[in-house]
Structure 1
Amino acid sequence: MSQNPANSQHAGAEQPRAARPRWVVAILLLLAGLLCAGFFALGNWQLQRLSWKQALINRISQAQQAAPVPPPSAAQWAQWTPAQQQALEYHRVRLQGRFAHEQETLVRASTELGTGYWVLTPMAIELEGQPRGWVIVNRGYVGAEQVAPASRPAPKPTTESQTVIGLLRLTEPVGSLLQKNQPAQARWYSRDVAAIAQARGLSGDVAPFFVDAVAAPEQPEWPRAGLTVLSFKNNHLVYAITWFGLALMVLGAAAFLARTEWRLRQARHAY
């Protein structure tokens, strides 16, 4: 009995690889979809950060070119909105008042001079000779050798009114990312204005911001003012491209998987 050549040729041919179970393919495609959505979301977030960073850099650049202005008054502090705070951040302001040096607070700092402390001192703000609340002033940086007030040049008497020009900064509540402020132990890791004012027992109105003093020729060497960071890295566009690239790679892998599995099933049916 003769054998059909077509059947003989078909029988000798290598069978195509079996496709994966449908539930396995479905799970893989679902995971790919979740990864793709997550990467796209991270890319969009980086674009939002890019817009925020560019606005911050432009705002700081414009603020540094403007002349010092009076800070918001005590009457405005209670109604100070987040939008108003952001609009005035890093602006140069002029303060007039008397320092309460006995109430200074040391806050951990990491600067271009090394690791040390910011010296934050309350200033009793005056307007036409009358007290108008407190503003906490970051007078500058000191290292471990200048922590004790006696190791620094003696400040001006507290009875003498002074003028300070500095940058308006927003309060840093709670603490740093890894370390929380511990007022009872006098351990401060961020410039939390409200907590410092409470720990020092300041009576009356306290500004919801602090001021970084800028360097001036008449200022003593310590505390060292003028170390505010005014330049910021802006790599958000690179990060966004990276996340979008990963999303496209996952999308391409999912498309390749779906096409391959479809072809395998078609080949098995044709066989």
Structure 2
Amino acid sequence: MNRAARIALIVSAALASVGFLALAGWQVQRLSWKLDLIERVEQRLKADPVAPPAVSAEVTKADEYRRLRLSGHFEPREVLVQATTELGGGHWVIAPLRLDDGSAVLVNRGFVPPERRAPDAHATPTGPVELIGLLRLTETGGGPLRRNEPAEGRWYSRDVAGIAAQLHLAGPVAPYFVDESADAAQPLRYPRPGLTVVRFANNHAVYAATWLALAVMAAAAAFYLVREERRRAPP
């Protein structure tokens, strides 16, 4: 290996070390964010349900997973959004709940397997209803690899504005949706509520340690190559 190639190798090892160190720092930041998320969600799951924010209110990540108490009546229309849950693949049933003040909130009534996707297999409740659920932020665009196709009835994310337009909802519509919570006093039914993911994997400390170890190894390789290069240099 000639000198130019050895120097290029030294530079590559040094840059790799810096890159790995940056990734380790990023994972430390992600760890802090994840711990904050877990603590926030745990606190909100224990809190008493509150009235929903006004449809004109701005909602942010600071509001997500807040427990809400809603009352109104479901309109007889819905959209199915593809879902993968602990029960397998199927759909979320998204239906508009008309609140007592005339505004509407999209409610994720729960999960249905493919064989229960027909409306008569998960009839929408009639009359006044009261439910408790978790405030969720709109999911625009679609899935990671697939975009929503409203014209073809294919939904991969719970896009509040898009679904509201698809359902031709009149009046003000909340900019968020609500995941209906399961009621232990009620028998199991479809749509199956209460499947919101509220336990989050937290492997960022392991990832940070891995990137840091790689940074140390790359730095050690660069140091070794520099020492060898100096040893090769003529006196």
Q: TM-score range by the shorter chain?
A: over 0.9
Q: Which runs of 5+ in 1 are unaligned?
A: 1-19
CA distance in 1, matches of 2:99, 2:13: 60
Q: Which runs of 5+ in 2 are unaligned?
A: none
Stretches (4+) displaced over 3 A: none
- Which residue in the other structure is 1:207 paired with? 174
CA distance in 2, matches of 1:156, 1:253: 67
Question: Which has the higher Rg, Structure 1 or Structure 2?
Answer: 1
Kindly provide the CA deviation profile for residues 47-83 of structure 1, in whole angstroms up to 9, marking residues without a partner as x: 111111101100010001100001111231xxx1xxx
1:234 to partner: Cα distance: 0.4
CA distance in 2, matches of 1:118, 1:243: 38
- Correspondence for 1:252 among 217, 220, 235: 220
Q: TM (normalized to structure 2)? A: 0.94
> Aligned in 2, Cα 1:74/1:261: closer, same or farther, shift over 3 Å?
same
Query: 1:1-271 alignment to 2 at 5 Å?
Result: 21-76=2-57, 80=58, 84-101=59-76, 103-126=77-100, 130-131=101-102, 133-152=103-122, 154-157=123-126, 160-216=127-183, 217-218=185-186, 221-265=189-233, 268-269=234-235
Q: In structure 2, the residue corresponding to 1:181 is in which secondary structure? A: coil
Contact 2:74 2:124 in 1 (8 A): no
> Aligned in 2, Cα 1:24/1:258: closer, same or farther, shift over 3 Å?
same
Kindly provide the CA deviation profile for residues 19-62 of structure 1, in whole angstroms up to 9, marking residues without a partner as x: x5442233112212221121111111111111111011000100
Structure with the higher fraction of residues in helix conformation: 1
Identity %: 47
1:100 to partner: Cα distance: 1.0
Aligned residues: 234
1:220 to partner: Cα distance: 6.0
Kindly provide the CA deviation profile for residues 125-151 of structure 1, in whole angstroms up to 9, marking residues without a partner as x: 22xxx31x2110000000111111112
Counterpart AA for 1:197: A
CA distance in 2, matches of 1:187, 1:259: 61
Contact 2:104 2:174 in 1 (8 A): yes
1:199 to partner: Cα distance: 1.3
Contact 2:138 2:158 in 1 (8 A): yes
Counterpart AA for 1:186: G
CA distance in 2, matches of 1:173, 1:219: 33
Counterpart AA for 1:96: S
